Chains A and B, each alone.
Chain A
């Protein structure tokens, strides 16, 4: 991608992110990286109108194209036909196309995003799009990864912000430019003066709200945490953040409860709910020593400012994926067997919220305050050490974000959780995808406690590899038939392929650690962007490649897992892999669970 557009004008980059506010903040490191890579570029954003006000400090955007589906829907309802709505959308698309984008990056993981990606013209496209004949298309190595991780969250530890960087094809930016107006900072300074917060007082901000009730830590636990913190640290001031009536009521109740036991806390707990706009919020976060937060957009805003975050993780939050980006952030997570639950879960008894001990939270805040804001090098090691001492037993765990060797920020659970089976496979996949999608070979050891279930996993992996190999051979047979004009492709070949694909899918059912490999294969196969019937041979070639890729990745999985297990156990593990039966070769696996 060149730095100048065709006409010599600055590169025009259009980012489509029809997602929630927090996700918009998570795209910003990518935007910063794009600007670093293409210094003269102009970057535009397509986002939902309701989140447009939250974009104020994100100064790298040259413009925002807001979308509000509701007016289109009401146009259909009130008019005698859909054509007015149709013309309105066409007009909006034409407006986007008038931009004449050089690069379109589509991060919207749904059908609306795919269709938009198809309708918007650009010289180069990255992300999720639609083929001309209506199938999902992935433009970029890491785009299928986005689809894969939805169903295999437990084996992913790539943060969403880093994933967006990879989709865009850029590296971690050296800085995150933000535009917080001076008057907003002054306004916050004045408010702090009025509330008796001096420049020497550490400010701990608390974001107590969340989009769903399920994702809110109970008010009394917040109150207990704050009370504990204020008792231990007499210089600390606490600011309660939020917007909306619900947040108002909650924060009022929290403050009352904190002050009920000790009225003197009243002058150190400041309820700033609905007292700030977006720019001032950023100014407050910038001034804060630590933000304690549920899974909120505020948390991601703090991450952009490199304000340390202590994130409370329970319900459906999966912190390795959507924890605050950057190094030195801490997640306290519930170890409930059912956590994280599904994104659309409607749990009636969220016991996981009670797993987070308020005193632990306040101690973790204190530990974080003890190291510099930008935790690198010795600071991060010291932080890790101090947090490790808090991880003994209990129903919650602690994870710390650190920069890995390749520049990504990963959350590593501390204590014994660092050696759990799931963390093991997360690390295995970390290495696989680095190698496969970025060509990077990582050789660091993966700590692991037990090798007991590995032989079973490796046995299933061996079967999966055999199926991939068989798929490769079958596709070659199909290609041979097509090359031979006189022979048509026998029906049984296609049926065998279909059966094999089912077997590959089912391999993940019976052995969940193989899920990412199986789904990645299927996504790659589905998104082969050849729809012209005259390009069949090309299609067959690309199909063969998907089986080859699967075979190679399974081999890599096996090797990495075996090597890591050997390192941990001090001996080589020889998994028992009996030969496959004909049924297993055809994909009819026995139902066994790891």
Chain B
């Protein structure tokens, strides 16, 4: 796919009539300028500011998934065509046209995006059943019976216009395909994958999904206290088992309350096989991201068969082992970074002094790190992180009292350090694990900060970064020392490599990219937003349509535009005391909600 002027002209001839061509050729405002990027799959994608309008990973696959879902819904609804609000670059519309023979009308409020799209796609092939327009008012002239398909990322850029469009559509049962999920993210109570879970939740939220993060951190104290009560393992297991039963019920209660379309659990999340079985029985899809070493954390054997989708950070032999256990719903999904947290910055001198140094290691005090890092103490080493052995002489290099740093402080460490040492953990090696495969989050995070790192060899690293050009890699203490010594002096080399690795992360290794990709996989496995009647949530668009004719009710329900779907409790919660006069409509919903509680509804 290459932008082409001749393609633009062909499309303009067919679709530019009625003044549209003038709009498309106009200069446009200086804000929200669309930007074309090359995706991982090689096709073009589009970004506006920080918002990606299509997948940076595989926009064609994303578009096809979207289109298939839309057509499925359209057939269910008996639609006579489609009105797509939001073109972006056009991957989803292109896929839609190949999935249906019905007419497609495309509203794109930013003519510049139409211009880019006309340069990239052979829209002219669909002349006769495809039409573009820029102004919401033109929707009035459209035929009835169309199904409205909203491109969620585009709506974020111009919510008012999309709201106006919805108001304008009166005809019959227009409905909107809800391709946004309601997701419940369950993190571990504590541990390394807790920040990963937080990043997942933030990412899903940015992608437009209704996300709830079920924070289990309040139970850390209790869980640790259990371990401190007895030295007998069997008693610890019994107590933890009882506590797990309690957490199971707590999570189940939350699932019943939230009615999610999808539960995403991270490694070490307190989701027992019992709970997973119950969720499975209730047809609640659970996607589990196992961000652990399968050789050490063997509980995957009991978890993987019970979930809808099992994502892993290792490939073979793990994938084969999973297949042997009839787990055919496994996906390789490497870790990533959240650029919203891990981004370049210039810390003030005090922070640099406090959190930085020439050579720094950030991470937990595993055995191999205790051994390995002693080799670097002559480089003015600093260590941050928890669980470092205070009785070990290396402890004198541990700063901030060995406390856990927040993700934001961790980013300060990376940005304040000249050479970041990245050594993957091992409980039984003395230094580098020669067979280490998966890549830890730190690799992506340091790169995302635009900071420099030296990293130990991992077999899966070359798939993710260009070794030597984007990341320097060592296999033992000696190689590490050489790299550290060299790059401490080579400012330019450090800067160039750090910049390249950052670019790679932004292009391919953010949580947004991972989550978008994973959700596409889930959709292919049949996971989709549940039918509202089963979840107690209803498409807002449908509610507004059903309320047509009752102006005051419509006015009340207008506040829920943009949410996709809404439940009764949410409607009731939107009515707050002390926020002005409560309308009879609002009070009636409050009453309905209260009666529903009493009646078990």
- A-side contacts of B533, CB under 8 Å: 79-80
**Of B111-119, B183-191, B327-335, B571-579, which binds chain A?**
B571-579
**Of A81-89, A198-206, A212-220, A331-339, which binds chain B?**
A81-89
B601 touches A76 (CB 8 A): yes
B546 touches A69 (CB 8 A): no
B599 touches A73 (CB 8 A): yes
Q: Which of B440-481 contact A (CB under 8 A)?
A: none
Question: Which of B582, B594, B601 is the one whose CB lies under 8 Å from A118?
Answer: B582
- Chain B residue, CB-CB nearest to A84: B546
Question: How close is B600's CB to chain A, nearest CB, in angstroms?
Answer: 7
Where chain A touches its partner, the secondary structure class is helix
- Chain B residue, CB-CB nearest to A134: B577
Question: How close is B569's CB to chain A, nearest CB, in angstroms?
Answer: 11
A81 touches B542 (CB 8 A): yes
B599 touches A72 (CB 8 A): yes
Q: When chains A and B are docked, how far (Å) is the Cα of A130 from the Cα of B568?
A: 21
Q: Mark B172-185, 1 if CB is under 8 A from A, else 0.
A: 00000000000000
Q: Which of B531-554 contact A (CB under 8 A)?
A: 532-533, 536, 538, 542-543, 546-547, 553
- B-side contacts of A531, CB under 8 Å: 578, 581
**Of A109-117, A264-272, A481-489, which binds chain B?**
A109-117
State whether the Cβ of B18 lies closer than 8 Å to any Cβ in chain A: no
B538 touches A82 (CB 8 A): yes
B594 touches A115 (CB 8 A): yes
Question: Which of B536, B568, B581, B592 is the one whose CB lies under 8 Å from A133?
Answer: B581
State whether the Cβ of A77 lies closer than 8 Å to any Cβ in chain B: yes
B595 touches A72 (CB 8 A): yes
Q: When chains A and B are docked, how far (Å) is the Cα of A70 from the Cα of B599?
A: 5
State whether the Cβ of A74 lies closer than 8 Å to any Cβ in chain B: yes
Question: Which of B547, B576, B578, B591 is the one whose CB lies under 8 Å from A116?
Answer: B591
Question: How close is A367's CB to chain B, nearest CB, in angstroms?
Answer: 43
Q: When chains A and B are docked, how far (Å) is the Cα of A116 from the Cα of B591?
A: 8
Question: Which of B532, B542, B592 is the one whose CB lies under 8 Å from A86?
Answer: B592
State whether the Cβ of A93 lies closer than 8 Å to any Cβ in chain B: yes
B568 touches A82 (CB 8 A): yes
Question: How close is B594's CB to chain A, nearest CB, in angstroms?
Answer: 5
State whether the Cβ of A579 lies closer than 8 Å to any Cβ in chain B: no
With A69-B596, A69-B598, A72-B595 in contact, is A80–B590 under 8 Å at CB? no
Q: Mark A461-494, 1 if CB is under 8 A from B, else 0.
A: 0000000000000000000000000000000000
- B-side contacts of A79, CB under 8 Å: 533
A73 touches B596 (CB 8 A): yes
Q: When chains A and B are docked, how far (Å) is the Cα of A74 from the Cα of B595?
A: 11
B595 touches A80 (CB 8 A): no
A83 touches B594 (CB 8 A): no
- B-side contacts of A83, CB under 8 Å: 543, 546-547, 553
Question: How close is B257's CB to chain A, nearest CB, in angstroms?
Answer: 16
Q: Which of A336-395 contact B (CB under 8 A)?
A: none
State whether the Cβ of A556 lies closer than 8 Å to any Cβ in chain B: no
Chain B CB within 10 Å — which of A85, A116, A134 has the most?
A134
State whether the Cβ of A181 lies closer than 8 Å to any Cβ in chain B: no
Q: When chains A and B are docked, how far (Å) is the Cα of A412 from the Cα of B600?
A: 41
B592 touches A76 (CB 8 A): yes
- A-side contacts of B532, CB under 8 Å: 80-81
Question: Which of A74, A116, A133 is the one whose CB lies under 8 Å from B579?
Answer: A133
Question: How close is A66's CB to chain B, nearest CB, in angstroms?
Answer: 13
With A69-B599, A134-B576, A134-B577 in contact, is A81–B543 under 8 Å at CB? yes
A132 touches B577 (CB 8 A): no
- A-side contacts of B594, CB under 8 Å: 111-112, 115
Q: When chains A and B are docked, how far (Å) is the Cα of A72 from the Cα of B577?
A: 24
State whether the Cβ of A135 lies closer than 8 Å to any Cβ in chain B: yes
Question: How close is B107's CB to chain A, nearest CB, in angstroms?
Answer: 26
Q: Mark B555-594, 1 if CB is under 8 A from A, else 0.
A: 0000000000000100100011111111010011111101
State whether the Cβ of A123 lies closer than 8 Å to any Cβ in chain B: no
State whether the Cβ of A119 lies closer than 8 Å to any Cβ in chain B: yes
State whether the Cβ of A90 lies closer than 8 Å to any Cβ in chain B: yes
Q: Which of A117-135 contact B (CB under 8 A)?
A: 118-119, 130, 132-135
With A82-B538, A82-B568, A134-B575 in contact, is A89–B588 under 8 Å at CB? yes
- Chain A residue, CB-CB nearest to B580: A133
- Chain B residue, CB-CB nearest to A70: B599
- A-side contacts of B547, CB under 8 Å: 83
With A69-B598, A76-B568, A80-B533 in contact, is A115–B542 under 8 Å at CB? no
- Chain B residue, CB-CB nearest to A532: B581
Interface size on B, residues (CB 8 A): 33
- A-side contacts of B592, CB under 8 Å: 72, 76, 82, 85-86, 89
Q: When chains A and B are docked, how far (Å) is the Cα of A85 from the Cα of B408?
A: 48
Question: How close is A80's CB to chain B, nearest CB, in angstroms?
Answer: 5
B598 touches A115 (CB 8 A): no
Question: How close is B264's CB to chain A, nearest CB, in angstroms?
Answer: 27
Q: When chains A and B are docked, how far (Å) is the Cα of A382 from the Cα of B91?
A: 96
Q: Mark A71-109, 1 if CB is under 8 A from B, else 0.
A: 011101101111101100110010000000000000000
A82 touches B571 (CB 8 A): yes
- B-side contacts of A89, CB under 8 Å: 588, 591-592, 595
Question: How close is A302's CB to chain B, nearest CB, in angstroms?
Answer: 29
Q: When chains A and B are docked, how far (Å) is the Cα of A82 from the Cα of B584?
A: 16
- Chain B residue, CB-CB nearest to A132: B581
With A83-B543, A112-B595 in contact, is A74–B589 under 8 Å at CB? no
A72 touches B601 (CB 8 A): yes
- B-side contacts of A85, CB under 8 Å: 592
Q: When chains A and B are docked, how far (Å) is the Cα of A90 from the Cα of B589?
A: 10
B601 touches A119 (CB 8 A): no
- Chain A residue, CB-CB nearest to B598: A69
Q: When chains A and B are docked, how far (Å) is the Cα of A74 from the Cα of B599?
A: 9
- B-side contacts of A130, CB under 8 Å: 582, 587
- Chain B residue, CB-CB nearest to A118: B587
Q: When chains A and B are docked, how far (Å) is the Cα of A111 from the Cα of B595?
A: 10
Chain A CB within 10 Å — which of B580, B591, B600, B601 has the most?
B591
- A-side contacts of B584, CB under 8 Å: 90, 119
- Chain A residue, CB-CB nearest to B537: A81
B577 touches A115 (CB 8 A): no
Q: When chains A and B are docked, how far (Å) is the Cα of A482 from the Cα of B185?
A: 49
Question: Which of A73, A82, A119, A135 is the one whose CB lies under 8 Å from B587?
Answer: A119
Question: How close is B99's CB to chain A, nearest CB, in angstroms?
Answer: 26
Question: Which of A77, A132, A133, A135 is the one whose CB lies under 8 Å from B601?
Answer: A77
- B-side contacts of A80, CB under 8 Å: 532-533, 538, 542
Question: How close is A339's CB to chain B, nearest CB, in angstroms?
Answer: 28
Question: How close is A507's CB to chain B, nearest CB, in angstroms?
Answer: 26
- Chain A residue, CB-CB nearest to B567: A82
A133 touches B582 (CB 8 A): yes
B543 touches A69 (CB 8 A): no
Q: When chains A and B are docked, how far (Å) is the Cα of A85 from the Cα of B591?
A: 11
Q: When chains A and B are docked, how far (Å) is the Cα of A72 from the Cα of B589?
A: 11
- Chain B residue, CB-CB nearest to A85: B592
- B-side contacts of A77, CB under 8 Å: 536, 601
A132 touches B588 (CB 8 A): no
- A-side contacts of B601, CB under 8 Å: 69-70, 72-74, 76-77
Q: When chains A and B are docked, how far (Å) is the Cα of A79 from the Cα of B581?
A: 30
Question: How close is B187's CB to chain A, nearest CB, in angstroms?
Answer: 32
Question: How close is A3's CB to chain B, nearest CB, in angstroms?
Answer: 30
- B-side contacts of A132, CB under 8 Å: 581-582
Chain A CB within 10 Å — which of B579, B599, B600 has the most?
B599
B591 touches A119 (CB 8 A): yes
Question: How close is B598's CB to chain A, nearest CB, in angstroms?
Answer: 5
A-B contact pairs, 19 of them (CB 8 A): A69-B601, A72-B596, A72-B599, A76-B592, A77-B536, A81-B546, A82-B571, A83-B547, A83-B553, A86-B592, A89-B588, A89-B595, A112-B595, A115-B590, A115-B594, A130-B582, A133-B579, A133-B580, A134-B575
Which 3 pairs show the lowest CB-CB distances between chains A and B? A73-B601, A134-B577, A69-B595
Besides the contacts A89-B591, A119-B587, what 9 more A-B pairs have beta carbons closer than 8 Å? A69-B596, A69-B598, A76-B536, A82-B589, A82-B592, A115-B594, A133-B578, A133-B581, A531-B581
